[in-house]
DNA sequence: ACCTGAACACCGTTCAAGT
DNA sequence: ACCTGAACACCGTTCAAGT
């Protein structure tokens, strides 16, 4: 039986952590607890370790992204859904790599492992819709696509963001036109 | 002008760090300083940061391995040199991944980046010798070879080490026989 | 059943004092 | 020119006391 204040605190901690990890990730546990407005012990009651907190935040993010596929496909044409969805994913990848110094190498590895399968499933779903639709070549491979987009998160240097343009290039190559 | 005690201390620090990082890597800077028999300040005079020390140790290791190629090629047949050398490299990879939790994700990334070129050069040198010798197929690719061996460092579970056997398999596939 | 926050052991790093 | 090691600010994590 979870008390309501416990669930509320968990939410506040997740919010604070999400905001904290958004760009750099070099934020201490005590800082996150303070921002969330809870004691350090509460933070550790919910997430027994720093790594657990980081993992929880990014698993939630991946779930959100992966879960949005079905809705996107009802709202727009498959190719547009693919484009929109991928930019969302690329942004999440950028955040993940922004963790950089603050996350241990093995924690990052675990993150990648637990993230791979659901992401591939989502890409497959999007590509299949676009193939059924006839807008994308039937031989387009989800793994290849992920590999390509994996390079896009770097493409956000000074000033403007080249990721959308590069993504257009990739998608254009996959289209039957 | 480097004082002789400074050079001696540097060597002692490197020795201590090499031993410390050999398996796990969760050793504090103060511990390393103590093992090396120097004050903490001396450690930081030589390596301004933890990351700098880790990098130095593994760059030295890579240099040693890469530098051994020429000598190996004069001492044994090219294919044997390739086999011997690769096992040495695999062992170094295992150590690197053993750092696991103790090294930051970005430091590990930097390590991989600074290590890639010299390693590929060494592999090329070995493969070229074995190709000239006629023992290995002329179309063998250094990048592919590195990719293959990159999987071998995991193959050292409980008891015995399967890496040599797996490597034999790879090399056998490359031989002209 | 859950929360608070002072406290703990330890970390990477610095710097005054020495030779 | 270099070394020592006590000290600093801070870290992740724990736990007695509260409600």
pLDDT tens-digit readout, B16-55: 999 999 878 889 999 999 999 999 999 999 999 999 999 9
Residue A156 to residue B20: CA distance in whole angstroms: 39
- How confident is the model at residue B102, as a pLDDT? 74
Tell me where in chain A the CATH 1.10.10.60 domain(s) lie. 1-48
Mean per-residue pLDDT for B140-155? 88
Q: Does residue B16 approach strand D to less than 7 Å at its CB? A: no
Residue limits of CATH 1.10.357.10 in chain B: 50-174
Least-confidence region, from A75-79, A142-146, B2-6, B125-129: B2-6
Length A29 CA → D10 C1' (Å)? 12
CB A53, CB A36: distance < 8 Å: no
CB-to-strand C contacts below 7 angstroms:
A 1-3, 5-6, 9, 30, 37-42, 44-46; B 28-31, 40-41, 43-44, 48-50
Chain A residues with CB-CB distance to B107 below 8 A = 101, 105
Mean pLDDT of A142-157: 85
Tokens of B22: 């050999």
Alpha-carbon gap: B109 to the closest alpha carbon of chain A (Å): 9
A103 vs B143, higher pLDDT:
B143
CATH homologous superfamily, domain A50-174: Tetracycline Repressor, domain 2 (1.10.357.10)
Mean pLDDT of A11-31: 91
Average pLDDT over residues B166-172: 91
**What's this model's pTM, rounded to 2 decimal places?**
0.83
Query: B90-130 pLDDT, tens per residue?
Result: 999 988 887 777 788 888 888 888 899 999 999 999 999 99
Is domain B1-48 annotated with CATH 3.30.460.80? no
In angstroms, the CA of B50 and the C1' of C17 are apart by 25
């Amino acid at each position: 039986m979870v008390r309501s204040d416990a669930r509320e605190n968990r939410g506040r901690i997740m919010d604070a952590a999400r905001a904290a990890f958004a760009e750099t990730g070099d934020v201490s546990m005590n800082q996150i607890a303070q921002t969330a407005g809870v004691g350090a012990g509460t933070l550790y009651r919910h997430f027994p370790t720093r790594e657990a907190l980081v993992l929880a935040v990014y698993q939630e993010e991946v779930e959100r992204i992966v879960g949005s596929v079905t809705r996107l496909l009802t709202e727009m044409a498959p190719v547009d859904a693919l484009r929109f969805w991928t930019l969302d994913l690329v942004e999440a990848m950028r955040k993940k790599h922004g963790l950089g110094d603050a996350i241990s190498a093995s924690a990052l590895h675990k993150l990648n492992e637990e993230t791979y399968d659901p992401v591939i499933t989502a890409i497959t779903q999007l590509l299949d819709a676009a193939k059924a639709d006839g807008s994308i070549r039937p031989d387009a491979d989800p793994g290849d696509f992920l590999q390509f987009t994996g390079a896009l998160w770097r493409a956000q240097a000074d000033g403007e963001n080249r990721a959308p343009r590069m993504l257009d290039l990739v998608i254009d190559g996959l289209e039957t036109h």
